[in-house]
Structure 1
Amino acid sequence: MSAGEIVFWDWDMVEDKLNFDERWEEMIGYDIDELGEDRSIWKDLIHPEDIKMVEKELERYLKGETRIYETISRMKTKDGKWRYFLDAGKVVEWDENDNPKRFIGILRDVTDQMKAEERKNFLHTLLKQDLGSKSQTIRGYLQLLEEELDLPEKHREYLKKAKKASGEADEILGLAKKLEEVEKTEWVGEKNIVKVLEQVLDDISNFVERKGVEIEKPHPEKIGKVKGDYSLNMFLSQILLSRIQLSQCDTIRIDVRERKEDILLKIEDNGKKLPEDIKNLFIGESYTGETTGVGGVRYYMLREIARHNNANIEVKDSDIGGVRFDVHLKKTE
């Protein structure tokens, strides 16, 4: 069963027994006979951090405070994974004393939607952290300008740094907007990764020359196409620009090769290494925000664009002193 399909349930409130339709087995992984009809067994599947909220919302509905009962909570599937479910229902039968007798409702798997929302919330948190850091820099230097008006040369230097920090903040916001556009795009198409790389290197050639960075390019004889869309260009350019801007490298090596299982693109440099919590972004762990100065938002966006294109990134220390990105791109069939 694909995420988003609906399962119907029927709760006998007199006997406290809960029945699900047969699609429940596909959704949660358990046979109906394994769990039985006792509602307490169903409650045991709910995440400990969510159970109080679920019970509170049920109580509010039964007291007449809400029109329907509705919650989103995590439930444990048979394979041990936690998935998000929308649970909604209402009482449809009462006894002669107006006590609720029968409660029916639906369950819907909303894991994909919740994870997408979590990613957006996470991005907003990172933006606040990075932009907050840049704003503090701006305020600090402008304060120095105000206090030391008798030092024109320093004023100019402070102003230069303030403008630089402001520009970085604007750049981060621009990247966030681009990521939002990418996430709205359906993932389709195929790309010649060598041609994409050539185009990116041509686009950033003036910047690379100004920074005095040498880029060693690959010359593969033949490489198959990869699955992806226009955002692959953005992905590759941002890896290169981020490392040039943030790592103080002067050498970048690029290699691309076709393997049986994928197409492997390697990008490594001799600049500053990445802190562990930045590396952990690429394996799905949370970023603490303690290292905003090394571009947490930029690297987070790289991860999200890679995911959009069905690519995986491994981040390692480079043999030439800096960082190596191993980008595993999915081949077209």
Structure 2
Amino acid sequence: MYLKRLIHRIAHSPILDKIALAIVIVLLLFITAVLFGQIKTLETSMEDVSNSLMVDKEINTLFSQYDLMESAEFRSVILKDSTFEESYIDRKLESDRTLRTLYDLAKDTPYQNASLDSITQLKDSLHVTLTALHGKIRPSQADSTAMIYVEKAAAILKNLRGIKTNMLDHNERLLQEHLGTYRRLTFLTPLTTLILALFSIVVFTVAYFRLRRHKNQIESSEALLQNIVQSTDNIMNYYEPIYDSNETVVDFRIMFANICNRDYLNLEPEDIIGKPISEVYPFVLENNELERMINCYLNDETIDFEREVFVDGEPYWFHTFVRGMDNGLLEVVRNKTDEYNAKEDLLQLNEQLEVQNFIMSEAKKMAKIGSYTWDMENDKAELSENFYRILDCEPGEFEGSSTTYQSFVHPEDIQQYEEFSSWLNEIKKPKEHVYRIITKKGVVKYLRSKGQFVERDGQTVKIGVVQDVTDQIKYENDLKIKNLELERSNEELESFNRVASHDLQEPLRKIQMFISRLDETDKNTLTTKGREYFDKISFVAARMQSLIRNLLTYSRIGSGSNDFEKIDLNEVLKKVHEDFLERIGDVDAKITSEKLPTVPGVFFQLEQLFSNLISNALKYRNPIVTPKIELTSEKVSHKEVPVKFIKPAKEYYKITVSDNGIGFDNENAETIFEVFQRLHAKNKYSGNGIGLAICKKIVENHHGYIHATSELGHGSSFIMYLPA
């Protein structure tokens, strides 16, 4: 395990450290080889020295044997004693063994081998000579030829001694060479060993400190990488494969997981390390993700894919990058939920923008509005599509400029248009301008234009809008005419009011005065038919007076009154109840009401309103039941008002006046509020058909609305909405 880690570190160390480490290893091997070679050389040198000494020793021993052999034979000749034969044979055998030893010791020395070959030949001659000499020995007398063999033996021994001397001299020289080599080796071997050892120590020291520095850098890098991995916004996990019995990858085991697993998936890193990913992340079993990860590991690939994961029921979107490594998989998961949601929001915004652009385009068409951007320096203008349409042209039909556009300006307005444009270009402040144009189709239109100046890319640009106000100006002109007519009508109405209030009532008052006097003096002198006619004249005169009074009341109820004040409707109802107290008592009517609200208004108009409604309820009562009049009130939102009219307030008081009278057909619910409209005969019910019209005008003058619901024989309900 340690060797594997060491090899792994070596494989991942910088190139210089690899070279240094390789040099150290080579030096160690070299030092070992040199030391081994020197030791082997020293051993060889020692063996050579020892061999030389042994050769020298054996040479001396050999020639000593020869000397002894000669001495033995000569003694036997001189002394005539044959007892020395056995001694000679021993010496001969001993010399032969020594000679063989010398052959073994000098086998690598050609000179010595040659010398030994010569010795062998001389040794054989010496043996033959000495043997012959030995045969010449007689116990009683000396052999006459013995001296010949003695001399021959002496000559052989002399040659042998010469060879001995040469061999010893040669061996001495070899010995001195071997001793010199030995001395040199004994001096150089420790010195070389010391130098190489010191150099090796230096290299080891440098390599050690470099490796240590590299280790520190690796530890710092690992700490930095760990901080980066833990502080990143991405999930970073490392997996190792899990094999089945057939050595097939079937899953992966989590070996490292950063803290983002807790942030995004609510999984503690310590709790999931060592577990299979299919157990911790069961969603990898969907969409063949696990198979893709296995193939990624086996093929050493990089893949990426998106997945939707539900955490505590909430959907999250993750983009996953998986990379195959030597011993596992590295997975980096980026949270794209916000980006995905932003994309969805962007799509929705784009859809909304398209709708808004469509609405804006249609609104411009409906409002007859166009826009433009005018580059004043280059006299180039960009017109909107609707601007072209206002000119009765196709969008982009001509290139916009002041010259081309002025061709559309009405000739009678061209001078005014140019003067206004020059003035506007000088003051550079937005201001409206209305002028006429003649479109491509020859139609005269009024345009209202307003622009302002802005700086764009260092240039002054005028942007603005134009609106086709032809209909508006025509409407304003028509309105002016109608206002003039209304002013004349108002003047005529004022004249009518003066006539009605004075000129018409004055003769009527005189008629009533004369009727009163006739009633007091001469009525009884009239015939029955005359008195009948007289009563009709008196009734018609009273009705005429009531009609004129109601018309004056109706005409004096104006709109847009500025003298509104807070009016307590309970006080208004109390005043009306007092006015009708006698009449209420006559018909035994019952009036009930809830607490009514306080509303902004005019007291006498609201009094007239309630007076007319209660009078109407008393007038059209059902004769067979006791009259009942009920007033209720509630506060409602303007959205709860069921009728369509201009609603300036957000809240309204819904006030209902209900009775149990004779009622009316609901088809006439709108008609009864018109002037002089009656649903019953004059001789059956009194009145002139103005009362409810006055009620409607009072309610409208208070920015409210009134309507009625009824059913014949089942009473009526008048419902008012007054601003809160």
Secondary structure in 1 matching 2:602: coil
Asked if 2 retains the 8 angstrom alpha-carbon contact of 1:282 and 1:313, the reply is no
Q: Structure 1 residues 279 and 72, CA, compared in 2 at 3 Å: closer, same or farther?
A: farther
Report what 1:19 is aligned to. Answer: 446
Asked if 2 retains the 8 angstrom alpha-carbon contact of 1:306 and 1:312, the reply is yes
Secondary structure in 2 matching 1:266: strand
In the aligned structure 2, how far is the partner of 1:248 from the partner of 1:279?
18
**1:232 CA drift (Å):** 0.3
Q: Deviations over 1:203-230 (max 9, x none)?
A: 22123334x150322143xx43112111
In the aligned structure 2, how far is the partner of 1:229 from the partner of 1:267?
19
Secondary structure in 2 matching 1:310: coil
Report what 2:582 is aligned to. Answer: 206
Q: Which amino acid aligns with 1:237?
A: S
Secondary structure in 1 matching 2:721: strand
With the length of structure 2 as denominator, give the TM-score of the two structures: 0.26
Higher normalized helix content (fraction of residues)? 2
In the aligned structure 1, how far is the partner of 2:531 from the partner of 2:593?
43
Pick which of 188-197 and 294-303 moved more: 294-303
Say whether residues 1:229 and 2:602 are aligned partners: yes
Superposition pairs for residues 159-238 of structure 1, below 5 Å? 159-183=534-558, 185-210=561-586, 212-220=587-595, 223-230=596-603, 231-238=605-612
In the aligned structure 2, how far is the partner of 1:72 from the partner of 1:282?
36
In the aligned structure 1, how far is the partner of 2:658 from the partner of 2:611?
14
**1:177 CA drift (Å):** 1.8
Q: Deviations over 1:75-112 (max 9, x none)?
A: xxxxxxxxxx327xxxxxxxxxxxxxxxxxxxxx969x
Q: Paired residue for 2:480, among 86, 94, 105?
A: 86
Q: Which amino acid aligns with 2:593?
A: P
Superposition pairs for residues 274-289 of structure 1, below 5 Å? 274=664, 279-281=669-671
Q: Structure 1 residues 224 and 164, CA, compared in 2 at 3 Å: closer, same or farther?
A: same
In the aligned structure 2, how far is the partner of 1:218 from the partner of 1:181?
30
Q: Structure 1 residues 300 and 72, CA, compared in 2 at 3 Å: closer, same or farther?
A: farther
Q: Structure 1 residues 290 and 271, CA, compared in 2 at 3 Å: closer, same or farther?
A: closer
Secondary structure in 1 matching 2:480: strand
Q: Which runs of 5+ in 2 are unaligned?
A: 1-431, 451-463, 509-524, 638-651
**1:72 CA drift (Å):** 5.2
**1:200 CA drift (Å):** 1.0
Q: Which amino acid aligns with 2:527?
A: P
In the aligned structure 2, how far is the partner of 1:288 from the partner of 1:178?
14
Superposition pairs for residues 237-248 of structure 1, below 5 Å? 237-245=611-619, 247-248=620-621
In the aligned structure 2, how far is the partner of 1:188 from the partner of 1:256?
23
**1:153 CA drift (Å):** 3.5
Select the structure of larger CA radius of gyration. 2
Q: Which has the higher contact order (CA 8 A, sep 6+)?
A: 1
Q: Structure 1 residues 263 and 298, CA, compared in 2 at 3 Å: closer, same or farther?
A: same
In the aligned structure 2, how far is the partner of 1:198 from the partner of 1:307?
23
In the aligned structure 1, how far is the partner of 2:635 from the partner of 2:588?
29
Q: Structure 1 residues 232 and 16, CA, compared in 2 at 3 Å: closer, same or farther?
A: same
Secondary structure in 1 matching 2:558: helix
Q: Structure 1 residues 276 and 176, CA, compared in 2 at 3 Å: closer, same or farther?
A: farther
Q: Which amino acid aligns with 1:229?
A: V
Q: Paired residue for 1:265, among 635, 638, 655?
A: 655
Q: Structure 1 residues 281 and 190, CA, compared in 2 at 3 Å: closer, same or farther?
A: farther
Asked if 1 retains the 8 angstrom alpha-carbon contact of 2:676 and 2:688, the reply is no
Secondary structure in 2 matching 1:20: strand
Q: Paired residue for 2:714, among 316, 321, 330?
A: 321
Q: Which amino acid aligns with 2:660?
A: N
In the aligned structure 2, how far is the partner of 1:8 from the partner of 1:290?
54
Q: Which amino acid aligns with 2:435?
A: D
Superposition pairs for residues 113-124 of structure 1, below 5 Å? none
In the aligned structure 1, how far is the partner of 2:445 from the partner of 2:466?
12
**1:233 CA drift (Å):** 0.6
Q: Which runs of 5+ in 1 are unaligned?
A: 1-6, 24-30, 37-41, 48-70, 74-84, 88-108, 136-149
Higher normalized strand content (fraction of residues)? 1
